[in-house]
Every structure is written in C-alpha cells, then in structure tokens.
C-alpha cells in the first residue's frame, strides 16, 4: 500500500512539474516574443525539450525559450517522422466550420467525395492543380477564390469577374486552363475579401491549398493519381 501511494505521489509530482514547465515556457514565449502568436505548446518525446507550434510550423526549445531548433524529429525504431505527423494534426481543420456560401461549388459525377480548395487564378501551381482535377471523378469541389495580390496584382479583379460570371466554375476553368478572360462585365457582391480573411484565420499562406473531408491540409499542387490516393485514404 505504501509503495502504491509512493508511486501515485511520484506520478502526480511528475505531472505537476511537467505542467509547470510548460506554463513557464508559455510565459517566457509571451515575454520574449510578444509579436509571435503561439498556437500550441506540448511536451516532446525528448526530456526537457518542448514542441512549440507558431508561425505555422513546429519548432523545439527548452523552458527558457532562448534557443530553438527546426527540423524533423524521427523515431528510427518505428520509422516515423514525428514532426510531420504532429504538423498534420495541428494544421487540420474542422471543415464543417467552413462558410461554403463563400465558395464556388462544382460537382463531378456523383460527387460523393469532397475537397475544399483555396486557389488564386493567376497562380501557376493552382492552374496545374485545376488541370489535374479534371481527371478526378466522383468529387464535389468547393473553390474558395483566394487571390494573393502581392504576387499577382490582377488576381483579385479576375477573381471578382469569375464570381460574377453566369457560370463561375466554367469561367474559372476557362481562365486557368485556357487563358480565356472572364466575359462578365457586371458587378456583384463577391466573397473575395472574406476569403482572404478566412485564409489568414486558417493560416493558409500559399496557393493552392486544399482540405480533405476529414480536415487534412494539403499544400501545393498534386497530380490526379496522388489526389485519388488522398481521397481514398479519408476515413
């Protein structure tokens, strides 16, 4: 009984100590780097080294938060990239929270699978992704027009014209695949500015970025075969 109580006391002390160390680290981060938004602080598998998620990436540090190292933490025995696994979890979203009224909906075939795409009409990688999506069937695409004007100054104007077109997704394909300018000359209320704000909230800082039905984030263009594998992997 005494041994059990001693072990219990030790476990409680260890938990409290670890919790206190995290609190100390969180306070040090706020004090030393007030301009950086820290999303998460967790224990890592390495003693006295903590995982910090900030600026859209994982870094590692101790409770003093003076020095940081960036890289992949590998479990050689299990052949796992622990950093990549954690980033996948941290970067996932609840797709049910997405404002779908701000997206262009396009259904291919039965549309039984779903992806949510943030894309810039003048982004070459976005254009490549659209080309590959033509070869993916049985999918519903929600396209959030997300022009990054610091890279493509005219993209916001094009996005607005696409949204105001009679058939927005067709206008999107005509522009991204065939370089055909949107024919719409009418003005309308568009969600483009809201999409830019939404992307910032979700830490979508590059295009294309798309999310699968389980919230998994995929950054960059993928070919049709890889997209199929990603869709099939969704549980």
What is the total residue count of the chain?
235
* Domain boundary, last residue among 44, 71, 91: 91
Please tell me which residue, 120 or 9, carries the higher pLDDT value.
Answer: 120
Burial 110-123 (b: 16+ CB within 10 A, else e): eeebbbbbbbbbbb
Tell me: do 31 and 121 sit in the same domain: no
Angle subtended by helix axes 155-163 and 192-201, to nearest 10: 120
> For 44-77, what is each residue's pLDDT tens digit?
999 999 999 988 889 999 999 999 999 999 999 9
Tell me: do 116 and 162 sit in the same domain: yes
pLDDT of residue 92: 92
Residue 166 has pLDDT above 90, yes or no: yes
Q: pLDDT exceeding 90 applies to what percent of the chain?
A: 78
* Residue 184 · residue 165 · CB < 8 Å: yes
Tell me: do 116 and 82 sit in the same domain: no
Tell me: do 152 and 207 sit in the same domain: yes
Give the integer Cα–Cα distance in Å for 63 and 191: 43
Tell me: do 82 and 196 sit in the same domain: no
Q: Is 227 exposed, middle or buried (0-12, 13-18, 19+ CB in 10 A)?
A: buried
Tell me: do 140 and 161 sit in the same domain: yes
Q: 63 Cβ partners below 8 Å, 6+ apart?
A: 21, 22, 24, 25, 28, 48, 50
* Domain boundary, last residue among 66, 91, 116: 91
pLDDT of residue 54: 87
Domain count within the chain? 2
pLDDT of residue 101: 98
Across the range 147-174, mean pLDDT stands at 96
Tell me: do 66 and 109 sit in the same domain: no
Instruction: pLDDT band for 16, please (50, 70, 90 cuts).
Output: very low
Tell me: do 86 and 117 sit in the same domain: no
Q: 31 Cβ partners below 8 Å, 6+ apart?
A: none
Instruction: pLDDT band for 229, please (50, 70, 90 cuts).
Output: very high
Domain that holds residue 136: 95-233
Tell me: do 104 and 194 sit in the same domain: yes
Give the integer Cα–Cα distance in Å for 78 and 12: 29
Tell me: do 49 and 142 sit in the same domain: no
Residue 158 has pLDDT above 70, yes or no: yes
Instruction: pLDDT band for 4, please (50, 70, 90 cuts).
Output: very low
**Residue entry with tokens 């919230």:** 215
Across the range 88-102, mean pLDDT stands at 94
Tell me: do 87 and 141 sit in the same domain: no
Give the integer Cα–Cα distance in Å for 167 and 143: 13
Tell me: do 113 and 212 sit in the same domain: yes
Can you give the pTM of this predicted structure?
Answer: 0.79
> For 175-196, what is each residue's pLDDT tens digit?
999 999 998 777 899 999 999 9
Residues in a beta bridge with 58: 53
Residue 8 has pLDDT above 60, yes or no: no
* Domain boundary, last residue among 76, 91, 106: 91
Instruction: pLDDT band for 135, please (50, 70, 90 cuts).
Output: very high
């Amino acid at each position: 009984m005494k041994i059990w109580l001693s072990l219990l006391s030790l476990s409680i002390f260890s938990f409290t100590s670890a919790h206190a160390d995290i609190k100390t680290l969180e306070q040090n981060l706020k004090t030393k780097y007030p301009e950086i938004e820290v999303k998460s602080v967790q224990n890592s598998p390495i003693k006295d080294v903590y995982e910090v998620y900030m600026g859209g990436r994982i870094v590692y540090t101790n409770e003093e938060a003076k020095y940081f190292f960036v890289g992949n933490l590998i479990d050689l025995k299990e052949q796992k990239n622990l950093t990549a696994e954690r980033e996948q979890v941290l970067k996932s979203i609840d797709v049910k929270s997405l404002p779908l009224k701000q997206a262009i909906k396009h259904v291919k075939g039965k549309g039984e699978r779903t992806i949510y795409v943030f894309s810039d009409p003048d982004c070459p990688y976005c254009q490549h992704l659209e080309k590959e999506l033509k070869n993916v069937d049985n999918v519903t695409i929600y396209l959030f027009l997300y022009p990054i004007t610091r890279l493509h100054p005219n993209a916001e104007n094009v996005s607005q014209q696409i949204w105001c077109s009679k058939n927005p997704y067709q206008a999107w394909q005509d522009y991204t695949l065939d370089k055909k300018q949107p024919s719409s000359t009418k003005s309308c209320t568009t969600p483009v500015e809201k999409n830019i704000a939404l992307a910032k909230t979700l830490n979508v800082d590059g295009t294309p970025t798309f999310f699968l039905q389980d919230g998994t984030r995929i950054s960059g263009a993928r070919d049709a075969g890889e997209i199929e594998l990603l869709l099939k992997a969704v549980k």
